[in-house]
Each structure stands twice: as structure tokens, then as C-alpha cells.
Amino acid sequence: MALIRDIAQICKSKNAGPFNITIDVLFEDHALYHRVKATGVLSAPLFARLYGVSVMDVLFTPYDTAAAFKATFPRRIPAGDFGDTDVYGAQQHAPLLDIDIPLD
């Protein structure tokens, strides 16, 4: 078992326009990336569960050549609107850091 925070090189969140948040996880080691990908843990349903959004609203893309996973989904509140807590969307990645990947 391995936590994302212990095995990934980059895990970050950012706005993708004012209405979406996008979360990226990158690996320096392509072999490790493929092992993580094979477990299927990183997926649209995972992000839907972590952030309370519908699976249909999660655009999940593994990007093999960059050894990266990307998930984009609607913001809870549009950037800068009343009640928003993170205009740049730069601190919404934390729940992912504790996801446990069942690596042998």
C-alpha cells in the first residue's frame, strides 16, 4: 500500500477557468505510473466521492506520455463569487494526498 503523498512527484489543484477545478497527479517514474494506473484507484468515481460531485461531471484523463492523471470538475462556487474560499483554486488537492494505492 502507498499513499499518493509518498509516491507522486506532483499533486496540485488549479482553476481551469472560473467554473472548474482541475487536479493533477504526476509521476517521475513511468513504470510506477503504469502500476498506479493499473490499480484503477485513480478514477472519475474517486474524485466524485472525494469532492461530492456527480461522476458524470468529472472529466478524468490519464496522460501516459506525461505519466500524469488529470481530473476536472465543477467548482463548488465560481471563482471569486460570494462564499468562495480559493480564488485560484490552488489548495483543493489535499484530500487526494491521503489516497492509498494498493501497490504490491
Partner 1 sequence: MQEYRMLSTSGILGYGYAEDSLKIGMSWEPHVIGCDGGSTDPGPYYLGAGKSFTSRLSVKRDLRLMLLAAMAARIPCIIGTSGGAGGEPHLRDTAALVREIAREERLSFKMALIHAEQPKRDLLSWIEKGLTKPLSRMKPLEAAMVHNAERIVGMMGPEPFMKALDEGAQVILAGRSSDPAQWAAPAIRAGMAPAPSWYAGKMLECGAEPTVPKEPDCIFLRVRDDHVICEPPNPIRRSTPLAVANFALHENSSPIHHVEPGGLLDTSACNFIPVSDRAVKIDGMTWTPADQYTIKLEGVEKAGYRAIAICGTRDPVLIGQIDSYLETHRTKVAAKAQSFGVPPEDYSLNVHCYGRDGVMGGWEPERAITSHELGFVIEVLGKTQDIANAVLAMARTSMLHADFPGRLCKEGNMAFPFSPSDIEMGAMYRFSVFHTVAVDDPCAMFPIEYEKV
Residues forming contacts to partner 1 in the complex (CB under 8 A) are 9-10, 14-20, 22, 24, 26, 28, 50-52, 59, 61, 63, 65-68, 70, 72, 74, 76-88, 91-92, 94-95
Give burial (CB, 10 Å; 0-12/13-18/19+) of 20: middle
For the bound state, the minimum distance from the C-beta of residue 38 to partner 1, rounded and expressed in Å, comes to: 19
What CA–CA distances, in Å, run from 27 to 18, 48, 57, 71, 75? 27, 22, 25, 15, 25
Instruction: Please identify, using beta-carbon distances, which residue of 18 and 40 lies nearer to partner 1.
Output: 18
What's at 53, amino acid-wise? V
Instruction: Please identify, using beta-carbon distances, which residue of 69 and 101 lies nearer to partner 1.
Output: 69
For the bound state, the minimum distance from the C-beta of residue 78 to partner 1, rounded and expressed in Å, comes to: 6
For the bound state, the minimum distance from the C-beta of residue 18 to partner 1, rounded and expressed in Å, comes to: 5
- Return the sign of the alpha-carbon dihedral for residues 17, 25, 91, 95: positive
